Amino acid sequence: MKKIIFTLLAVILVLSTISCSNIDTQSTAQTQNTTQTNTTIKTLIEKYGQYLKADTNYDTSPEVSFSDMETLVSGNNEFALELYRQLSASDDGNLFFSPYSLSVALAMTYAGAEGITKEQMAETLNFILEEEDLHAAFNKLAIELAKRGEGNKSEDEEGFKLNIVNAIWGQIEYAFLSEYLDTLAVNYDAGLRLLDFVSDPEACRQTINEWVSQQTEGKIEDLIREGIITEMTRLVLTNAIYFNAAWEKPFKENNTGDGIFYLPDGSTISVPMMHQTEDFGYAEGDGYQAIELRYDGNELSMLIILPEEGNLDQFEATFDAQKLDGIIENIRTASVNLIIPKFEYSSQFSVKAALQAMGMTDAFSMAADLSGIDGTYDLYIEDVVHKAFVSVDEAGTEAAAASAVIINLKGILEQAEVTLDHPFIFMIRDGKTNTILFVGRVMNPAE
């Protein structure tokens, strides 16, 4: 059996993690009916954030073909690595995020997109399936992932955890289309939670953040930063993920000792390095080594890719799903002398700029067409925020992440002043057909 000396100098994590749960947040009591286009949602609003079930139930047995599942996962992975390239190119520090969480949150948003906005989202997010099949496939994937780890150990000895949960937060007395709410209820098990963004956006932000914290065992705090939610917010779509698993082959703590880690600028630091010699999945190729560390139960794993020292930027620039598939196909069992640092850190950022750079532009502008949410053209995406946490030690891995898509009423994006104190052109036009009915020029308004 081949024996390799494997020392981690730089680490890229490709980690699939997921998460789940539920809370209510108290507020003042009131009662309301919301009606829109042959749809009526009847509810007693006893507290902000109250969970409202749609008339349709969550589909626990979606009929999805193997081919559709493969197509969904392939598209999600393409999106994951394209987004990784975007984010890594704009930040030279540690990076960790859950592309799955972002895909789910944006898929719930996609259910309400129409026209060019929908086309751009599909291309950017690599949503290839027809819409009905897409949402059913996301549901099927979540159900499959929820089956993982039954009876397995966790990093903290409290039992393996791989949980996913979705929630949508809507403005009270705002009319959402029943078709949209039904899609989210049936495929994402997401009921509407009512908040009053108009009256108290800060309290609403804290409510959502508290929910996220509880779903992620307190690892994701303050997902939505102050000022992002405003009185113009009408809907927030959230996904939260929590993962905790023990290694199939844990490291011995007495083998951990300080070691040298080489930073990109050539300097070094001393960090705790874990060590063991064991049989692991291993691959090597042009400019990289890779090792696969399995978790207890042998269902999930951490794949670690180690580019040649000084070659990280070049490797990342061409790191796509095809390259990842090639690495995975080359993995074989080998006896590996593994030295890996213990590490723990968080990443927090907006993915708005990255998504725009990837082609999803209209959704963030006044050209946004989210009419599938409320039947109007009044909504746009203000921001998409994400935060993630990871901790790797001798026992295993704990990871968490959360995503939020903030949808606002359209308005003036920035303050501007227009003073018509010199000659100007004007016209009267029909907005729907773009027909110019009158056109003129004012040279002297006193004439």
Strand partners, 401: 241, 388
- Residue 148: in which H helix or E strand, if any? none
Nearest Cα neighbor of 21 from 225, 300, 220, 299 is 220
* pLDDT of amino acid 3: 39
Is residue 136 over pLDDT 80?
yes
Distances (CA, A) of 65 to 129, 135, 273, 426: 12, 13, 44, 56
Between strands 288-294 and 301-307, the pairing is antiparallel
Q: What is the pLDDT of residue 104?
A: 98
- Of 432 and 406, more confident: 406
The model's confidence at residue 51, banded by pLDDT at 50, 70 and 90, is: low
Position 309 confidence tier, pLDDT thresholds 50, 70, 90: confident
Q: Which amino acid would we find at residue 31?
A: T
**DSSP code string of 268-288:** EEEEEEEEEEEEEEEEEETTE
- For the chain, what are the domain ranges? 1-419
Say which residue, 438 or 230, is predicted with more confidence. 230
Q: How confident is the model at residue 8 (pLDDT cuts 50, 70, 90)?
A: very low
For residue 92, name the pLDDT band (cuts at 50, 70, 90). Answer: confident
At residue 437, the pLDDT reads: 66
Which SS3 state, helix, strand or coil, does residue 424 take?
strand
Average of pLDDT values for 151-167? 75
Three-state DSSP class for residue 211: helix
CA angle, residues 381, 387, 388, in degrees to nearest 5:
145
At residue 346 the predicted structure's pLDDT band, cuts being 50, 70 and 90, is: very high
- Give the rounded distance of the alpha carbon of 7 from its chain centre: 31
Mean pLDDT calculated for residue range 420-433: 67
Cβ-proximal residues to 325 (8 Å cutoff; 6+ apart), any chain: none
Assess contact for 372 and 112: CB atoms under 8 A.
yes
User: What is residue 87's predicted lDDT score, i.e. its pLDDT?
Assistant: 93
Please determine, looking at this structure, whether the domain spanning 1-419 carries the CATH number 3.30.497.10.
Answer: yes
Q: What is the pTM of this model?
A: 0.83
Instruction: Count other Cβ atoms within 10 Å, centred on residue 328.
Output: 14
